[in-house]
Amino acid sequence: MFLKKISLFLIVIFTATKLYAVEDIASTHQLNYFTGNFDFSDDKQQAILFGFQHQNENLNRNTFLGNVSPITGGFVTENSAAYVYTGIEWNVDMSEKIKFTPSFAPGLYHEGNGKDLGHVLEFKSEVQFSYISSEKTSFGVSYNHVSNASLGDKNPGANSYMFNFLKKF
């Protein structure tokens, strides 16, 4: 069942990539499609997740923290939980082919039939390692933690890992 969902997800991604591909070499938009395991550290609440994230490289800035750019995205789980967010990511070239990308993004969470994280406002901290396979395509793995920073009565948090397909347009 999981392999069928992954296969369908990849078919949709590659089809969408072909439909919306732009031949402009100076492309500055990156879409990050990902799938993985939401809250893998909680046996009772773990669920498959699917999501996307947009980054506009036109808006990047060199700061005292490094090169920073805005991100916006969201994900849904098989239990109808959903999270939409906007924040920032740091882009760190580890080598010619490897990129390290930590990010921080506050967002809104809806538990659906999934895990109660204790508050509608949640914060996502993430790290991602990507392999740059071509000028416009990368593959990566990422890990994130979603938590409400004790804004709610409870703060169980959720740990997730994902596999990423990144495409520049």
pLDDT digits (tens, 9 = 90+) for 122-152: 999 999 999 999 999 999 999 999 999 999 8
Please report, for residues 115, 159, 161, the alpha-carbon distance to residue 144 in angstroms, rounded to integers and kept in the order given: 16, 6, 6
Average pLDDT (41-54) is 93
Q: How sure is the predictor about 23, in pLDDT bands with cuts at 50, 70 and 90?
A: very low
The amino acid present at 23, given as its one-letter code, is: E
Q: What is the CATH number of domain 2-79+92-168?
A: 2.40.160
Residue 56: the pLDDT is 86
Reply yes or no on whether the pLDDT at 84 is more than 60: yes
Reply yes or no on whether the pLDDT at 59 is more than 60: yes
Q: Which two tokens stand for residue 169?
A: 């347009």
Nearest to 82 by CA among 105, 110, 108: 110
SS3 of residue 6 by DSSP: helix
Instruction: Give the Cα separation of 18 and 21 in Å (integer).
Output: 5
Residue 28: the pLDDT is 81
Instruction: Give the Cα separation of 138 and 140 in Å (integer).
Output: 7
Q: Which residues contact 68 (CB under 8 A, 6 or more apart)?
A: 60, 61, 62, 88, 89, 90, 91
Residue 73: the pLDDT is 97
